[in-house]
Structure 1
Amino acid sequence: MASSIELVENTQPLETNNDNQLQQKLLLIENDHYLSKAFFINGDKSEYQTTKISTGEVLTQELNSYLVDNRPNMIVLDIGFADSAQLLIIRDVRALFDGLLVIVSNSDSEQEHMDAFKLGADDYVVKPIDSRILMMRVKALFRRQNNKVNQVELASLTVGEVCLQPKSQKCFINGDMVKLTTFEFNLLKSLIEHQGKILSRDQLYNTLLKRVYNGVERTLDVRMSQLREKLTVAGMKHNQIETVWGQGYMFSNTTA
């Protein structure tokens, strides 16, 4: 089934004390309007930057690309009356997304609850549910996540003219910020953290895409090429991402 991406609402800050919530990006995945009504009709329209996607039981390439190239803080996924096969959409989402994942379902099956959590859900909500309770659960997940982040101060990673700030997911080349997708940032971070060591495609697929490299897929190679081009255009000269044929990739500092 084809998917469609619809920007339902992109809110702007209205009050200073709401800035933290307004910066949170939510992705709603559903086939009806249950989530849309819960998030947009009940007085919560100004709280989050929200995108809605309609999709079938499996992730399409369009949705795959969206998850890789965008950075939602939370996904709320309505799986309706799910069966074991349909639940695997959670696994597919988790292969590309490591943020908060809330499952909304018509089923109160204990087995489905357990399967959803095993596949990577952070919360499981059974319909019907009062929209105010749903909002409170969303806020509670964000609050717990923020408390964890605030307890750990992540240091910058600097090699040559490249500086990464993991907490804000910002990349700087010679002090100038370079816009990277979430995947590109995490790819570069993995390479820098293992500077001077070869990372195989198997390792990178497992770390970044949470799946096994099948020996044919070119996703990593294409995005590696895009990352290299961005870094080169930004002025990176004293670092390079080397292709070690038959083994993988390695980040090196040529001035070291």
Structure 2
Amino acid sequence: MPSSIELVKNTQPLEINQNIQSQKKLLLIENDSYLSKVFLMDDNHASYQTTKIRTSETLSQELRSYLVENRPHMIIFDIGLADSEQLLTIRDLRALFDGFLFIVSSKNSEQEHVDAFTLGADDYLLKPMNSRILMMRIEALFHRQSNKVKQVELASLTLGDVCLQPKSQKCFINGAVVKLTTFEFNLLKSLLEHQGKILSRDHLYSTLLKRVYNGVERTLDVRMSQLREKLTLAGMKKNQIETVWGQGYMLNNLTG
């Protein structure tokens, strides 16, 4: 069934702000102009670059490509009066997108609220809402992210017998340096940061290879195999990179 999600317009002309390159890119997914009007207000439009896409029950190829090529910092998704099937769109978005996902709803349902977070939402607001509250919650998410990034830059990532130093791009197994390519380092870093969770091929292609997974390509599988071999030869025994059939990959700590 063809999707009705399509790129509609940029709600903020690029010439409005000369500092457009420093703006956060927000993708608004909605059927009406409720969200668009909030970001066209004088106090809000200068802070963010916004693009609007229409809602559908499925993700179109256009939307998938847009997420990979434009890499917005946040998606604000107005699900309206969504039913349980439509809510699964949140899960599909999360498989492709690792930025902030903010849900806006017209349905006053505690179960929907819980389901949205379970499926991958970072925040949730009920309509009608105060536009200032929306903007403050968006800013709060970005502020926490900024603080977290600063902390990660100074820290090492350690799990079992693996230690990564993101700032110097060095990998250690039991204290010995293991030479990894930039892609292998970033792949292992993603697995460590999401230890115990399945990372889909869609997600890894989008975040690491910057393209949409076509369901056939084997590039990721080959590189994952090469990474496994290097880690095994280096003596990694306390962690295991598991292939989850039909879903993706997951790093497990065997000593936990």
The one-letter amino acid of 1:7's match is: N
Deviation at 1:24, TM superposition (A): 1.4
Does residue 154 of structure 2 align to residue 157 of structure 1? no
Which residues in structure 2 correspond to 1:138-217 (within 5 Å)? 138-153=138-153, 154-157=166-169, 164=182, 189-190=186-187, 205=201, 208=204
The one-letter amino acid of 2:32's match is: D
The one-letter amino acid of 2:140's match is: A
Give the distance between the partners of 1:130 and 1:193, measured in 2 at CA. 36
The one-letter amino acid of 2:201's match is: Y
- Residue of structure 1 equivalent to 2:122: 122
8 A contact 2:169–2:185 mirrored in 1: no
The one-letter amino acid of 1:157's match is: Q
Which one of 4, 7, 15 corresponds to residue 6 of structure 2? 4
For structure 2, the residue ranges without an aligned partner over 5 or more in a row are 154-165, 172-179, 192-197, 207-212, 231-256
Q: Spell out, residue by residue over 1:144-164, the C-alpha distance to the aligned partner (whole angstroms, 9 max, x if none).
A: 1111111111324379xx974
Give the distance between the partners of 2:226 and 2:124, measured in 1 at CA. 40
> Taking structure 2 as the reference length, what is the TM-score of the superposition?
0.63
The one-letter amino acid of 2:107's match is: S
The one-letter amino acid of 2:149's match is: V
8 A contact 1:101–1:120 mirrored in 2: yes
> Taking structure 1 as the reference length, what is the TM-score of the superposition?
0.63
- Residue of structure 1 equivalent to 2:108: 108
Give the distance between the partners of 2:190 and 2:132, measured in 1 at CA. 43
Q: Spell out, residue by residue over 1:127-149, the C-alpha distance to the aligned partner (whole angstroms, 9 max, x if none).
A: 00111111111111111111111
The one-letter amino acid of 1:111's match is: Q
SS of alignment partner, residue 134 of structure 1 = helix
Q: Cα RMSD (Å) of the superposition? A: 3.7
How many residues are aligned here? Answer: 195
For structure 1, the residue ranges without an aligned partner over 5 or more in a row are 165-184, 195-201, 211-216, 225-240
Q: Percent identity?
A: 49
Deviation at 1:191, TM superposition (A): 7.0
Deviation at 1:57, TM superposition (A): 1.7
Give the distance between the partners of 2:85 and 2:137, measured in 1 at CA. 27
SS of alignment partner, residue 11 of structure 2 = strand
8 A contact 1:23–1:49 mirrored in 2: yes
Hey, which bits of structure 1, 4+ residues long, moved more than 4 A?
Answer: 11-15, 191-194, 241-244
Does residue 8 of structure 2 align to residue 32 of structure 1? no
SS of alignment partner, residue 217 of structure 2 = helix
Give the distance between the partners of 1:46 and 1:207, measured in 2 at CA. 30
